[in-house]
Amino acid sequence: MSIPDGITPIFLNLLKEAKLSAGLIAAGLTDSGKLAYFGQQHYYKMMFSLSIGIERLCKLIIISDSIINGDILGEVALKRKYGHKLERLIKEAVNISKKYPDAKNINLDCMEGEIEKAILSELENFGTKSRYHNISGFCDNDLTNEPISSWYRNVSRKILDIYMIRYYKKDKKVYIPECQFIIMPTEDDFIYSPHYDEHEASVKLAVKNLEIPVLQKYTKLYIMRAIRPLIEILLCIEDVAQIEGKLDIPYFSEIFCYVNFDDYMIKRRKKFGIV
């Protein structure tokens, strides 16, 4: 493959890596909008895509910063120093942001929210440990590190506690007249779920069905809140690179275009992609 005049190999590699990272994060956001109590593949696809996508996003920040400073950090050095540890990579990305004046406007605190921290922690655990759970289960039958159960306990349950009106409680029977509807208000609309008997098990299942659209909307939202500051750090580095004439740095803002979506759009968008 011939390289066009004026384009360096570093630029091409950064461009490909940015598209890979942005595409993986977009795929993870798309799958988070399909979460349900059936179809577990969406949980696995979401966690695989996001854990790898965020890891590579952080490494893009580190590499791009090293190019700005004239000391390019290679893949071996990156792997030796950071491995696949998201927490370590995110911490380094935040430290790098302190070099760039415009990064002062980035709301880094949103990564410190309870749900956002839980999301990043679950992705760290999945990327380093629990992604092999199904295979290792053949040997040791250890069920303690099951990734979907852990995500539900530490992320989904927190989201539902905030945004879901609880119609069913374990210690209290709930009876619904035949053929009536439960109306469950969310932040800005209503969800209707029909019921056709008065059995407690049916009510419990129906409430689970009511939880699904709440999870789908707000999981996307909180994932984006956790990731957005990292993307904005990368864009600050891009701005400095353009000012200083460091043409090895691509226009990351064109690739990570979904960083500009507001909360309303994130909750309602079915599919995320890159340019």
Say if 110 falls within a structural domain. yes
Residues 6+ apart with CB under 8 A from 25: 49, 50, 53, 54, 57, 227, 256, 272
Residue 209 has pLDDT above 80, yes or no: no
Position 8 scores a pLDDT of: 83
Give CA–CA dist 9/67, Å, rounded: 13
Cα end-to-end span (Å), the chain: 22
Weakest-pLDDT range from 2-11, 48-57, 170-179:
170-179
Residue 43 has pLDDT above 60, yes or no: yes
Say if 274 falls within a structural domain. no
Nearest to 34 by CA among 267, 266, 270, 210: 270
The mean pLDDT of the chain is 80
Say if 256 falls within a structural domain. yes
- What is the rounded average pLDDT of the residues 133-149? 67
Residue 201 has pLDDT above 70, yes or no: no
Judge whether 33 and 270 are in contact, CB under 8 Å: yes
Say if 209 falls within a structural domain. yes
Range of the domain at 198: 9-268
Residue 96 has pLDDT above 80, yes or no: yes
More confident residue, 232 or 178: 232
Say if 273 falls within a structural domain. no
Say if 190 falls within a structural domain. yes
How is residue 267 written in tokens?
Answer: 């909750």
Residue 43 DSSP one-character state: H
Say if 1 falls within a structural domain. no
Q: How confident is the model at residue 94 (pLDDT cuts 50, 70, 90)?
A: very high
Weakest-pLDDT range from 24-38, 51-65, 199-213:
199-213
The proportion of the chain whose per-residue pLDDT surpasses 70, expressed as a percent, equals 72
Say if 3 falls within a structural domain. no
Q: How confident is the model at residue 134 (pLDDT cuts 50, 70, 90)?
A: low
Q: Where are the beta strands (DSSP E) in 154-198?
A: 181-185, 190-194
Domain count, the chain: 1
Position 268 scores a pLDDT of: 93
